[in-house]
Amino acid sequence: MKNTFGQSVSITIFGESHGEQIGAILDGMAPGIPVDKDFILSQMDKRRAKGRISTSRKEEDEVLISSGVFEGKTTGTPICFTIKNNNTQSKDYSQTRNFARPGHADYAANCKYHGFEDYRGGGHFSGRITAGIVAAGAVAISALSEKGIHIGTHIAKCAGIKDRNFNDIAKDIQALDSMDFAVLDENAAAQMNHAIIDAANQGNSVGGILETAVFGLPAGVGEPWFDSFESVISHILFSIPAVKGVQFGAGFAMADMYGSQANDAFYIQDGKVSTTTNNNGGINGGITNGMPVIMSCVIKPTPSIYQQQNTIDFINGENVQFTIKGRHDPAIIHRARVVVDSAVALALCDMLAQRFGTDWLKGNES
C-alpha cells in the first residue's frame, strides 16, 4: 500500500503542500484512550517553523478531529485528523514548474505521475504532510505513555556538532519533551543554532543525525525475519522525507568492532534481566529484549538552498541554471524530531497490538 502503514494499528496520510488541507486517518487504536487536544497541539508546535532557523512560512496547524473520538476518548474506530493549509504562496513555484530541483523529487515524480502531479511546494512530497503523522502520533504517544512506554529523540549531530549521548534515558526523555530544540547539552545546542544561522546566511542548509530512545517496551516484541522490529521501524523512518540512513544500537560502528566488544552480556538482578552494554539497541534477532531501544537516523541537508544550481527542464529536455525561490528551512532536523517520535510511536502501537491484541493499549472501561 502506498500512503498507509501498519496492520493492526494503521495510519493513512493525504494532502499536498498547497492544497486546501492535509491530514491523516489513524485506525485500529484501542478504544478508551484519552485524546487531549492540548497535548496534540503541543506536539504540533514542536514541528512548527519558528525563529530564524526555520522557514518563514508559519502555519497555525490547528487540528480538526472529525471522527473516532467520542466524549474525549478514542472509540476504536478511525480517527480523522485534518489541518488546513493557510499560508501558501503558489506563485513561487509556477515559474520553475518544469525544473528538477536538485535533491528534490520533481524529476522522479514526473517519471511516476507523468506530469499530473501537483508541483506547488513539492505537492504530496512536501514535509508539510508530516503534520498529519504528528497529529496521529500524538494519540499513539499518549496511549504508550499510559503503559509506561516513553519515546524521546535528540539531535545527536547537526552541522558537524555533536550532542552528548543518552545518559539516564528516562530522565533525558522527560527533558526532551519540553524542548523546542531537542539537544541534551546546552552548549552543543547553542553551537548548532549558530551553525544553522550561518548556513542560512550563506543561502545554504545543513543536516544531522537524530537519535531516539524508547523506554519501557516489553521484551518479546518483533519477528525473527521479515517483520523484525528493525524492519518495521526502519520502514516507517525511511518514509520520512530526508532520512537516508537508519541504524540500531551501535549501528555502523559495529563494522569496526570484534564480536567480544559488540556482544552485550546479559545479567539478572532482582529478577530483572538486563545487558551491561546495549550495542544491539535493545533488539536481538529482530525481537525486543527488554533493554531500551536505541536507534538513529540521518537527516540530509534541506535540498532547497538559495544558491544557483545546475539542473534540467524535464519537460523541454534541456540543461538550465536556476535559483530556488520561495520560503525554505536552512535546517529541518529540529522540526523532524517530533516526526520521528510520532512515526516510532505509530509503529510501536502496531507491533504491540499485533503481539498482545487490540485491547492491550485500551483505557479503563467506561
For 101-133, give one letter per residue: b (16+ CB within 10 A) or e: bbbbbbeebbeeeeeebbbbbbbbbbbbbbbbb
Task: Check if the beta carbon of residue 104 is closer than 8 Å to that of residue 303.
Answer: yes
Pairing relation of β-strands 79-84 and 21-27?
A: antiparallel
Q: Which is nearer to a second copy, 140 or 206 (CB)?
A: 206
Nearest to 341 by CA among 83, 147, 79, 149: 149
Q: Which is nearer to a second copy, 214 or 236 (CB)?
A: 236
Question: What is the contact mask toward a second copy in residues 70 to 89, using x (rule: CB under 8 A)?
Answer: x--xxxxxxxx-x-------
C-alpha cell at 90: 503558489
Cβ at position 307, least distance to a second copy in Å: 6
Q: Which residues contact 39 (CB under 8 A, 6 or more apart)?
A: 138, 142
Cβ at position 202, least distance to a second copy in Å: 8
- The residues in 1-40 that bind a second copy, with binding defined as CB under 8 A, are 1-8, 10, 12-16, 19-23, 25, 27-28, 31-32
- The residues in 119-138 that bind a second copy, with binding defined as CB under 8 A, are 123-125, 129
Binding region for a second copy (CB under 8 A) out of 45-53, 134-142, 171-179, 214-222: 214-222
Which of 50, 147, 235, 325 touches a second copy (CB under 8 A)? 235
Cβ at position 243, least distance to a second copy in Å: 7
Does residue number 241 form part of the binding site for a second copy (CB under 8 A)?
yes
Cα distance between residue 244 and residue 242, in whole Å: 6
**Could you tell me the end-to-end alpha-carbon distance of the chain, in angstroms, rounded to an integer?**
35
User: Contacts for 96-99 with beta carbons within 8 Å, 24 or more apart?
Assistant: 96/322, 96/324, 96/325, 98/313, 98/314, 98/315, 98/316, 99/311, 99/312, 99/313, 99/314, 99/320, 99/322
Does residue number 114 form part of the binding site for a second copy (CB under 8 A)?
yes
Cβ at position 48, least distance to a second copy in Å: 21
How does DSSP classify residue 257? -
C-alpha cell at 322: 536556476
Q: Which residue has the cell 568492532?
A: 257
Task: Check if the beta carbon of residue 143 is closer than 8 Å to that of residue 76.
Answer: no
Cβ at position 115, least distance to a second copy in Å: 4
- The residues in 254-283 that bind a second copy, with binding defined as CB under 8 A, are 254-268, 271, 273, 275-276, 279-281, 283
Cα distance between residue 109 and residue 113, in whole Å: 6
- The residues in 147-176 that bind a second copy, with binding defined as CB under 8 A, are 157-160
Does residue number 286 form part of the binding site for a second copy (CB under 8 A)?
yes
Cβ at position 151, least distance to a second copy in Å: 19
Cβ at position 195, least distance to a second copy in Å: 10
Cβ at position 15, least distance to a second copy in Å: 5
Q: Which residues contact 270 (CB under 8 A, 6 or more apart)?
A: none
Helices 37-47 and 130-146 pack at an angle, to 10 degrees, of: 130
**Considering CB under 8 A, how many residues would be counted as binding a second copy?**
158
Does residue number 117 form part of the binding site for a second copy (CB under 8 A)?
yes
Q: Which is nearer to a second copy, 178 or 271 (CB)?
A: 271
Q: Which is nearer to a second copy, 66 or 86 (CB)?
A: 66
Cβ at position 184, least distance to a second copy in Å: 17
Q: Which is nearer to a second copy, 95 or 174 (CB)?
A: 95
Q: Which residue has the cell 478514542?
A: 74
Question: What is the contact mask toward a second copy in residues 178 to 207, using x (rule: CB under 8 A)?
Answer: ---------------------x----xxxx
Cβ at position 179, least distance to a second copy in Å: 20
Beta bridge pairs of residue 322: 309
C-alpha cell at 294: 536505541
Does residue number 94 form part of the binding site for a second copy (CB under 8 A)?
no
